[in-house]
Amino acid sequence: MKKASTPFLSDGNGIIIDSNEVTNYKGKTLVANNLSYNNGGAGIHEVDSSYVDFINNTTSNNGLVPSENYPEIFAVRGSHINYYNNIAYPNGAATPNKAFSMNSTTNVAYDYNVLNGVVDGAAAPTPNHNLYVNPLFKNRAGYDFRLDSNSPARDSGTSSFAQATDNQLNARPQGTGYDRGAFEFVTSAQLSRTGWTASAFATRNTLVPAYAIDGSTTSYWSSGTNMAIGQTFTLDLGQSQLVGRVSFGSDTSGVNFPSGVDIFVSNNITEIGYPMKSLKNNTNPTIDLSFVTRTGRYVTFKINTAKTAWWTINEINLYTQ
Ligand SMILES: [Ca+2]
C-alpha cells in the first residue's frame, strides 16, 4: 500500500496487531493456526501491542516490497508477547533474509519455532528449542505449506499454548506430539468403510448408492439419468474423520463418469461449504483427487458439468491424505 508519509509501495502485512496499547485494550489476543504468504510487508507484524500470543502460524514468501525488506515475523515495541510453534521461511528476495526481527519490545518469549532465516534483535532463549533449518513444506513453490513427511516441524512443537485443532480444524496433536506451523501433519491411511451410508439424488432401478461402498468394483450405483449441474451423491461416514483424498471409478461403459465434479467435506449435511477440490474437463473414468485434509462426517460429490451420459460410481475409496 501507499501512504502519505511514504508515497511509494510500503507495508501491506499479512497479519498485523497494531497499537492495542494506544487504544487501551487490556485483554489478551490470540493469533493461531494462520497461513500468511506472498504479502508485501511482514507475514505477522506486532506494533505497540501487549498480551498477544502468536501460536502455530506459518509465514512464508513475504516481504515482497523490495525497498522495505520486511521480515516474516516482525515485533516492534509492545510487551508480554509469546511466539511459539510458528514457522517463518523468508522468500529469499530480501537482504538480509529475515525470519524474525524484534526491536524495542519487552517481555517477549519465543521458542519452538522454525526460523529459516536471519533472527535479529532477539536474544536466543535458554534453553533454545527453536530450529534454524528448512521446515520442508510439501510444495513451497506450489503454495502447499503443509509439512513434508520428513519435516523437522513434525511432533517437535511444545504443548504449552497448544491448540486443539489446526488450520483445517483437524485435531492436534497427530502422531507423537504437537507440530509446529499451521498444519498438523496427517499420516496417509485408507479409511474403513464401516459405518458408512450413501445416498444419491436419483437411482436407476436396483443400482442403489450402497453399491458404491460395498467393497466390490464390479457392483455400482447408477443415476439412470444424464448428468446435470448440481446433482449430488453423498457419503455419511457415521462420524467425523480426516479426509484428504478421494478416488472412485465408474461402470464399464467408458462414458458414464463425470466430466466435472466438486468434492466437499463437511460436518453439516446441508451446509457443505466450499469445494475441497473442483475437477473439470475430466476424461478419465477413474478419478483420484487429493486436497488439504479436512475433518468431516459428510463427503459430497456434486456434478459441475452437464454430460449426455448416466452418472455411475463403482466404488469409493477415501484416504486421510
Ligand atoms: Ca461397488
Interval 262-281: pLDDT, tens: 999 999 999 999 999 999 99
pLDDT above 60 (res 157) = yes
In 3-state terms, what secondary structure has residue 46? strand
Question: What DSSP string describes 253-301?
Answer: TSS-S-SSEEEEEESSSS---S-SEEE-S---SSEEEEEEEEEEEEEEE
CA of 277 to the centre of ligand 1 (A): 23
pLDDT of amino acid 67: 78
pLDDT above 60 (res 1) = no
CA of 299 to the centre of ligand 1 (A): 17
Cell of residue 194, nine digits: 464401516
CA of 314 to the centre of ligand 1 (A): 5
Percent of the chain having pLDDT more than 90?
88
CA of 281 to the centre of ligand 1 (A): 25
Q: Which of 181, 70, 72, 56 is nearest to 117 (CA)?
A: 72
CA of 272 to the centre of ligand 1 (A): 25
CA of 315 to the centre of ligand 1 (A): 4
CA of 233 to the centre of ligand 1 (A): 14
For the domain made up of 197-319, give the CATH fold: Jelly Rolls (2.60.120)
CA of 124 to the centre of ligand 1 (A): 58
Task: Please state the domain extents for the chain.
Answer: 15-147, 197-319
What is the sign of the dihedral through the CA atoms of 144, 247, 222 and 252? positive
CA of 28 to the centre of ligand 1 (A): 53
CA of 259 to the centre of ligand 1 (A): 20
Q: Which of 147, 134, 142, 140 is nearest to 56 (CA)?
A: 147
CA neighbours closer than 13 Å in the CB half-sphere of residue 252:
3
The string of pLDDT tens digits covering residues 166-205 is 999 999 999 999 999 999 999 999 999 999 999 999 999 9
pLDDT above 80 (res 119) = yes
For residue 117, what pLDDT band results from cuts at 50, 70 and 90? very high
- Average pLDDT of 76-105? 91
Which amino acid appears at position 77 of this protein?
Answer: R
pLDDT of amino acid 255: 98
CB 289 within 8 A of CB 246: yes
End-to-end CA distance of the chain: 38
Question: Cell 510487551 identifies what position?
Answer: 79
CA of 21 to the centre of ligand 1 (A): 62
Lowest mean pLDDT among 65-69, 83-87, 118-122, 278-282: 65-69
Question: Strands 58-60 and 35-37: what pairing?
Answer: parallel
Q: Which of 241, 272, 277 is nearest to 260 (CA)?
A: 277
CA neighbours closer than 13 Å in the CB half-sphere of residue 71:
23
How far apart are the C-alpha atoms of 267 and 170, rounded to whole Å?
A: 12
Phi and psi at residue 136, to the nearest 5°:
55, 75
pLDDT of amino acid 94: 66
CA of 276 to the centre of ligand 1 (A): 24
The string of pLDDT tens digits covering residues 218-241 is 999 999 999 999 999 999 999 999
Q: What is the mean pLDDT of the chain?
A: 94
CA of 193 to the centre of ligand 1 (A): 12
CB 174 within 8 A of CB 97: no
pLDDT of amino acid 158: 98
pLDDT above 80 (res 46) = yes
What is this structure's pTM?
0.85
CA of 219 to the centre of ligand 1 (A): 4
pLDDT of amino acid 101: 95
Phi and psi at residue 31, to the nearest 5°:
-120, 105
CA of 97 to the centre of ligand 1 (A): 54
CB 287 within 8 A of CB 314: no
pLDDT of amino acid 58: 98
CA of 278 to the centre of ligand 1 (A): 23
How far apart are the C-alpha atoms of 287 and 87, rounded to whole Å?
A: 34
CA of 308 to the centre of ligand 1 (A): 23
